[in-house]
Amino acid sequence: MFALLQKLDATLFEFINGLSGEIPFFDHFFRFTALYSSTIFALYLVRLWFWGKEKELNRRAALRATLAAALGLMINQIIGGIFYRPRPYTVLPAHLLIPHTGDASFPSDHATGSFALAFGLKGRLRHLPAGILLAFAVLVAFARVYAGVHQRPAAGGPGF
C-alpha cells in the first residue's frame, strides 16, 4: 500500500511540475509566487500593524498570525529532522524554476508558514475575506511543487 502511495505521489509531482516550461506566463507567475510569497505576507502584516482604522484589532491579528507561523515553522524543523524527505529534484526528473536548497522537502516551510498566517488571520479581519488568504496559501503550496522544489506529502508518511 505504501509503495502505491509513493507512486501516486511521484506521479502527481511529475504531472504538476511537468506543466512548468510550457507557458512562460505561468512559469513567471508561479516562480514569483514561490519566491516572494513570504515577502508578500510580511508586507501585509506590516500593513496591518501600521495602517488601518482598527489598529488594535489589526495588531492582535498580525501578532497571532506571526506566532502561529513561528510555532508551525518550529514544528517543521522537528518533523524535518526526524523524517527527512529529499527534495524531489534529487530523486525525480524535475523542472527547477527557482534556486534550491538541500534541506528537507517535507514539510514545506513556505506552505506551513502561509497556511499558519492565513489561519492566524482568518476571521479576524473585516476588510479581507479569509478565503482570499487561504486561496493564497494553496497557491503558494502549488507554486512550490510547480517550481520543482516540493511535492505534496505522500499519505502514510514522508519519504520515497
For residues 60, 108, 30, 44, the Cα torsion angle rounded to the nearest 10 degrees is 10
> Is 69 in contact with 37 (CB distance < 8 Å)?
no
Map grid coordinates 519566491 to a residue.
Answer: 35
Q: Where are the domains of the chain?
A: 31-146
Query: ω into residue 107 within 30 of 0, thus cis?
Result: yes
What does each of the 160 residues of the chain score in pLDDT, given as a tens digit? Answer: 667 777 777 788 888 888 888 899 999 999 999 889 989 989 989 988 898 777 888 898 899 999 999 999 999 888 878 877 766 666 676 777 777 766 666 677 888 899 999 888 876 666 667 788 889 999 998 998 898 876 444 433 333 3
Q: What's the alpha-carbon Rg for the chain, to the nearest Å?
A: 17
Got the DSSP string for 95-142? ---S---SS--SS-HHHHHHHHHHHHHTTT-SSS-HHHHHHHHHHHHH
pTM here? Answer: 0.79
